[in-house]
Amino acid sequence: MAVAAVTRPRSRSRATRRAVTGYLFLLPALALMGVFTFYPFVQGLTLSFQSWDGVGATSWVGLSNYQRVIGDNIFWVSLVNAGIFGAVGFVLGNILSLGMALAVNSLRRGSTFYRVAYYVPGVFSVVVVGMMFAWILQGSVGILNRALGAVGLEMLQRRWLTDPETALPSVALVYVWFHWGFGFLLFLAGLQGVPRELHEAASIDGAGAWGRFRYVTWPQLIPVTTIVSVLTLLGALQIFGTVQVLTNGGPGYLTEVPTLRIYKEGFQFHRFGVAAAMSVVFGSILVALSLVQIWLGRRSYGEGE
Amino acid sequence: MARTNPIAASLSTATTTREGVGGVARALRLLQVSAFHTLLAVVAFIALFPIVWLLVGSLQTIQELYRGVTFWPALPQFQNYYIAWTKGGFSVYLPNSLFYSTVSVLAILLAASMAGYALARIEFPGRGAVMFLIMAIIIVPLPATFIALYKLLVDIGLANTRTGYILAMVAAGLPIAIFILRGFFMRQPKELEDAAILDGCSAFDVYWRVMLPLARPGLAAVAVIEFLRLWNEYLLALVTFNSETLMPVQRGLTKFVSSDTPEQHILLAATAMAVLPVLILYTVAQKSIIQGIMEGAVKA
């Protein structure tokens, strides 16, 4: 005790020094994130109550931006569309990525090749993916229509991206193609974490293939499934560049998505205040979803223990 | 069986129950195995076809493209690339992208490793709060803040400038990089650090001379995935730049499409130029890319 009392002043000054050192190390990162991430976040809230045309001064307009957002059907349609992309990505993407992860995991040879090949779409940019599929799905000379013609399925040929019936499904499928590899990688990593002994024990107990999947593999994959599902949904909601290149939201507003809507509202119609209000609504939805993910993640990890 | 798993196991049960039937069972099993491998190959084909189609198309003449019977061009048309490079502005966009990506990666590595080191190893009040703040920043993505970010750039005179774009890109990349590097520093043994402190090294020396070299694999992983992200970035580039001389390659590509209405073969060559660096990087560093993406996903 006496020793502690004697050394306390010294250790306090050392603690202060350590704190100063710590914050000096953090300074560049905190300054950058403060100015370019945190401040715009706050300013976005302010701007949503203001009017700004992109160059001049701002003026306060109260709640009128939000009134406009509430009355803007296209914005709500864009949210629904993003939700559809999310649902398609969730169902189709999860089935594909989990199924292919199971398949590749069962290979004794060649699993590296498939792992690398299946993730290739994931390294492309949104613009590049848009350009690739604009060419593949092109109405008159695109390879998809040509291939359909070659096998005698002319009746299925159409202008995939401008036909009101196929535009949204086409973009949704491109989204799945683009992003399923990400879930595949996470599922594969999750499968490799399932102890082999568990499978062997279950086989000895007489469990069939389905039984082993249902009672051994699946419980171990629940945390990964949660992460993949929420990230797929979040990614689908934020889809932008690919849609801009493929359809620019058309035909009409059938493939409009929130980020594209916000972009047009600001940079085409010069109503940045309304765009900021849309961002606040949209951002709240994204944050709510992330919070659900964190909550689900905690819960499923808790159960696993 | 070396590895037990649902699919291979179902194949083996199929054989044992039908053992009496002999040849038929073997034929059935062969059928199942080949169906399984066909499925794997078909999915690989779907994953790889668009890029292959883009690359072979980028070397064809416009007549070959529109006739649509050619796979490999009669005479590879490298001048498609030359035209995209000169008339398409890619002689400007590609160096711009290289510059933005390189500078931003270096800045991210420096700032994120410093922050990650402090958060992993230096005990100071408010450390938990800082971690919480970084987490909070991660869950508010760019599509929800780019309008306000644009206003900020206009207000401080950095709209349509290289500096503004780089600073915003670095800030956006920091949170995940900090998380990954913090994890890396936490896994390093403490002894070396303690020895260095006893030798009278300053905190910065410990970070710069001892910890940074140890964290080299982590730095490499962050560098590769950040380079990929920066090279592919589009939304911020769209918002920041008006001047074609400043545009990076993704932004330049959409500019090229909308303003010049180029012919399809030139367009394919231009797209190929935007994607080739990424393909090369992926081929060389696929291991660390895949690992980095998974770490980033699980941490974030």
Strands of A54-204, DSSP E? 59-60
Nearest CA to B222 out of B109, B119, B298 is that of: B109
Query: Looking at residue A215, what is its pLDDT?
Result: 82
Q: Is residue B104 pLDDT above 90, yes or no?
A: yes
Residues forming a β-bridge with A59: A51
Each residue of A15-37: b (16+ CB within 10 Å) or e? eeebbebbbebbebbbebbeebb
Contact A258 B143 (CB under 8 A): yes
- Give the mutation candidate from A113, A127, A192 for the B interface (greatest B CB count, under 10 A): A127
Contact A32 B167 (CB under 8 A): yes
How many CB atoms sit inside 10 A of residue A147's CB?
13
Please indicate, yes or no, whether residues B142 and B244 belong to a single structural domain of this protein: yes
| Residue owning tokens 């590509």 | B253
Q: Alpha carbon A8 to chain centroid distance?
A: 51
What is the rounded average pLDDT of the residues A82-99? 92
Angle (CA) B222-B226-B231 rounded to 5° is 155
- Give the mutation candidate from A14, A106, A226, A294 for the B interface (greatest B CB count, under 10 A): A106
The nearest CA of chain A is from the CA of B256 a distance in Å of 12
Smallest Cβ–Cβ distance between A36 and the set B149, B154, B207 belongs to B149
Q: Is residue B187 pLDDT above 90, yes or no?
A: no
Q: Alpha carbon B265 to chain centroid distance?
A: 26
Look over chain B and give the mean of its residue pLDDT values, rounded to a whole number.
85
Please indicate, yes or no, whether residues B249 and B263 belong to a single structural domain of this protein: yes
Q: Which two tokens stand for residue B61?
A: 């003449």
**Number of CB pairs, chain A paired with chain B, less than 8 A apart:** 284
Q: Is residue B293 pLDDT above 70, yes or no?
A: yes
Domain range for A225 is 72-304
Contact of B282 with chain A, judged by CB distance below 8 Å, is answered with yes
Please indicate, yes or no, whether residues B252 and B138 belong to a single structural domain of this protein: yes
pLDDT band, very low/low/confident/very high, at B49 (cuts 50, 70, 90): very high
The answer as to whether A95 is a domain residue is: yes
In chain B, residues with a C-beta closer than 8 Å to the C-beta of A52 are 151
| Residue owning tokens 């949660």 | A226
**Number of domains into which chain A is organized:** 1
Domain range for B51 is 6-79
The CATH number assigned to the domain holding A250 equals: 1.10.3720.10
How many whole angstroms separate alpha carbon A64 and alpha carbon A86? Answer: 30
Contact of B106 with chain A, judged by CB distance below 8 Å, is answered with no
Show which of B14, B44, B79 is a domain's final residue. Answer: B79
Cis geometry, peptide bond prior to residue A28 (ω within 30 degrees of 0): no
In B14-53, the residues whose Cβ lies within 8 Å of chain A are 36, 39-40, 43-44, 46-48, 50-51, 53
Please indicate, yes or no, whether residues B33 and B87 belong to a single structural domain of this protein: no
pLDDT band, very low/low/confident/very high, at A11 (cuts 50, 70, 90): low
The answer as to whether A65 is a domain residue is: no
Please indicate, yes or no, whether residues B58 and B185 belong to a single structural domain of this protein: no
Q: Which two tokens stand for residue A300?
A: 């499923």
Rg, C-alpha atoms of chain A = 26
How many CB atoms sit inside 10 A of residue A268's CB?
9
pLDDT band, very low/low/confident/very high, at B21 (cuts 50, 70, 90): low
How many whole angstroms separate alpha carbon B61 and alpha carbon A166? Answer: 30
Contact B139 A55 (CB under 8 A): no
The answer as to whether A279 is a domain residue is: yes
Q: Alpha carbon B58 to chain centroid distance?
A: 23
How many whole angstroms separate alpha carbon B11 and alpha carbon B3? Answer: 13
Local structure of residue A152 (DSSP, 8 states) = T
In chain A, residues with a C-beta closer than 8 Å to the C-beta of B205 are none
How many CB atoms sit inside 10 A of residue A57's CB?
8
For B225, name the nearest residue in chain A, comparing CA atoms only: A123
Q: Is residue B39 pLDDT above 70, yes or no?
A: yes
Query: Looking at residue B92, what is its pLDDT?
Result: 94
Please indicate, yes or no, whether residues B268 and B124 belong to a single structural domain of this protein: yes
| Residue owning tokens 């080739």 | B276
How many whole angstroms separate alpha carbon B31 and alpha carbon A243? Answer: 41
Show which of B14, B45, B79 is a domain's final residue. Answer: B79
Smallest Cβ–Cβ distance between B297 and the set A113, A231, A287 belongs to A231
Q: With contact defined as beta carbons under 8 Å apart, do A194 and A108 qualify?
A: no
Residues forming a β-bridge with B294: none
Q: Is residue A302 pLDDT above 70, yes or no?
A: no
pTM reported for the whole predicted model: 0.87
Please indicate, yes or no, whether residues B127 and B218 belong to a single structural domain of this protein: yes
The answer as to whether A33 is a domain residue is: no
Q: With contact defined as beta carbons under 8 Å apart, do B91 and B85 qualify?
A: yes
Looking at per-residue pLDDT, the higher value among A85 and B262 belongs to A85
Please indicate, yes or no, whether residues B87 and B137 belong to a single structural domain of this protein: yes
Complex prediction ipTM: 0.86
For A45, name the nearest residue in chain B, comparing CA atoms only: B148
The nearest CA of chain B is from the CA of A104 a distance in Å of 8
The nearest CA of chain A is from the CA of B259 a distance in Å of 14
Q: What is the 3-state secondary structure (H, E, C) of chain B?
A: CCCCCHHHHHHHHHHHHCHHHCHHHHHHHHHHHHHHHHHHHHHHHHHHHHHHHHHHHCCCCHHHHHHCCCCCCCCCCCHHHHHHHHCCCHHHHHHHHHHHHHHHHHHHHHHHHHHHHHHHHCCCCCHHHHHHHHHHHHCCCHHHCHHHHHHHHHHCCCCCCHHHHHHHHHHHHHHHHHHHHHHHHHCCCCHHHHHHHHCCCCHHHHHHHHHHHHCHHHHHHHHHHHHHHHHHCCHHHHHHCCCHHHCCHHHHHHHHHHHHCCCHHHHHHHHHHHHHHHHHHHHHHHHHHHHHHHHHHHHC
- Give the mutation candidate from B134, B147, B206, B264 for the A interface (greatest A CB count, under 10 A): B147
Which of the residue ranges A125-129, A224-228, B220-224, B227-231 would you say has the lowest mean pLDDT? A224-228
Please indicate, yes or no, whether residues B286 and B180 belong to a single structural domain of this protein: yes
Looking at per-residue pLDDT, the higher value among A137 and A210 belongs to A137
The answer as to whether A19 is a domain residue is: no
Which of the residue ranges A1-10, A78-87, A141-150, B34-43 would you say has the lowest mean pLDDT? A1-10
Smallest Cβ–Cβ distance between B47 and the set A33, A117, A280 belongs to A117
> DSSP string covering A225-257, please?
HHHHHHHHHHHHHT--HHHHHHTTT-STTTT--
Q: B124-146 pLDDT, tens per residue?
A: 888 889 988 888 888 888 888 89
**Number of domains into which chain B is organized:** 2
Show which of B30, B50, B79 is a domain's final residue. Answer: B79
Looking at per-residue pLDDT, the higher value among B33 and B300 belongs to B33
Contact A124 B278 (CB under 8 A): yes
Look over chain A and give the mean of its residue pLDDT values, rounded to a whole number.
86
Which of the residue ranges A206-210, B191-195, B201-205, B283-287 would you say has the lowest mean pLDDT? A206-210
- How far, CA to CA in Å, does A126 sit from each of A170, A235, A255? 15, 12, 16
In B243-262, the residues whose Cβ lies within 8 Å of chain A are 250, 253-254, 257
The answer as to whether B212 is a domain residue is: yes
Please indicate, yes or no, whether residues B117 and B256 belong to a single structural domain of this protein: yes
SS3 content of chain A, % helix, strand, coil (to 5): 75, 0, 20
Smallest Cβ–Cβ distance between A117 and the set B48, B65, B235 belongs to B48
The CATH number assigned to the domain holding B102 equals: 1.10.3720.10
How many whole angstroms separate alpha carbon A229 and alpha carbon B297? Answer: 12
The answer as to whether B1 is a domain residue is: no
